Amino acid sequence: MPTNINNYKDEIRKVGFEIEFSNIKMKRIVSLIKKTYNLKETKVNNFFYTFDSEYGKFVAELDFELLTKQKLKSNFTDFFQKIGMQVDKTKIDKVENMVGRISKDLVPFEVSTPPIPLDKIDIIDNLSDNLYKEGAHGTKKRVYNAFGLHINIETISLDVDSLLSYLRSYVILESFLAKDAKVDITRKITPYIDKFKEDYIVKILSENYKPTIEEFIDDYIKYNPTRNRSLDMLPIFAFIDEKRVRDSLPKEKINSRPAFHYRLSNSLVGEENWKISDEWNRWLYVERVANDTKLLTKLSKRYLFHLEKFVNFTAWEEKVSKCIKNQ
């Protein structure tokens, strides 16, 4: 458990998970979720199912927007209507299934959970255990499996000082977390978990950086005009000031929510002893540093000094590892 278990509304914090994998057919995934959590499914299409629970909706989908968001059917139908032809729905279904079969080894399936209260999140390991038993493939199974585990952690506060402390903590720990999690090279070379750039890190770690929430959002977007960061702050910023974010980034697909979108972790569902909770426990380093003012100040100064030096004989992740693990 983190030190702070209550959210910005003084209710118990919630955490949502998104896990990517392959090598299981959708029918087996549906059966697995029903069995694991005793839920009933609702079929949207062959590659998109929802499951109502006491916490909200679980979702299982082939993570391919053309299929899951029904764009294949609508675009296919619109095209033939424009040229004056009616298309048999069963033929559209056949095309959909064909595209699904072709893409399923390259495009991962994804199971997303609703926000689960902190005192209940141990149920998430039931999912990773059962995916392993079903033979799911994760990041390490094939060289092109850039699969990830995303964690959406509800914030303790919407105040700028709290949010800035978390982001400072994260940029300080980012390289340590990546090494500790053994982030796969396939994921590193994709743009999805790009690191924060040094000029932005220096800016926000400066003790003179005391922005308003509006300035904080604007600065973040100026230096990070994308969701592709290993800690994506855009969902929180859109929750606080949606117009400001959407006006600046009209083409980005941003889900507004009061939660940090932590995207760093591998999805290791094919590894025998791996659990989703392993990655949650790694996030707790960020929680600890963010909520320890003295430690955060000390590490900020040390990291800035490290970045200023022309030559460093010890990697930053080694320095910060010794510091936080000795606390």
Residue 124 · residue 267 · CB < 8 Å: no
pTM for the full predicted model: 0.84
Predicted confidence pLDDT, tens digits, the chain (327 residues)? 998 999 999 999 999 999 988 888 888 999 999 999 999 999 988 888 999 999 999 999 886 554 444 444 454 455 445 545 555 555 555 655 555 555 455 568 899 999 999 999 999 999 989 988 888 877 766 655 568 899 999 999 999 999 999 999 999 999 999 888 787 666 666 666 688 999 999 999 999 999 999 999 999 999 999 998 999 999 999 999 999 999 999 989 899 999 999 998 887 887 888 888 889 999 999 999 999 999 999 999 999 999 988 777 788 888 888 877 766
How confident is the model at residue 314, as a pLDDT? 80
Return the HEC string of the chain: CCCCCECCCCCECEEEEEEEEECCCHHHHHHHHHHHHCCCEEEEECCEEEEEECCEEEEEEECCHHHHCCHHHHHHHHHHHHCCCCCCHHHHHHHHHHHHHHHCCCCCEEEECCCEEHHHHHHHHHHHHHHHHCCCECCCCCCCCCCEEEEEEECCCCCHHHHHHHHHHHHHHHHHHHHHCCCCHHHHCCHHHCCCCHHHHHHHHCCCCCCCHHHHHHHHHHHCCCCCCCEECHHHHHHHCHHHHHHHCCCCCCCCCCEEEECCCECCCCCCCCCHHHHHHHHHHHHHHHCCHHHHHHHHHHHHHHHHCCCCCCCHHHHHHHHHHCC
How confident is the model at residue 68, as a pLDDT? 43
Residue 59 · residue 75 · CB < 8 Å: no
Q: Where are the domains of the chain?
A: 13-136, 158-258+273-327
Residue 40 amino acid letter: K
Residue 109 · residue 128 · CB < 8 Å: no
Residue 226 · residue 119 · CB < 8 Å: no
Residue 19 · residue 124 · CB < 8 Å: no
163 CB-near residues (< 8 Å, 6+ apart): 155, 157, 213, 216, 233, 236
How confident is the model at residue 98, as a pLDDT? 56
Cα(134)–Cα(280) distance, rounded to whole angstroms? 23
- Adjacent-strand bridge partners of 287: none
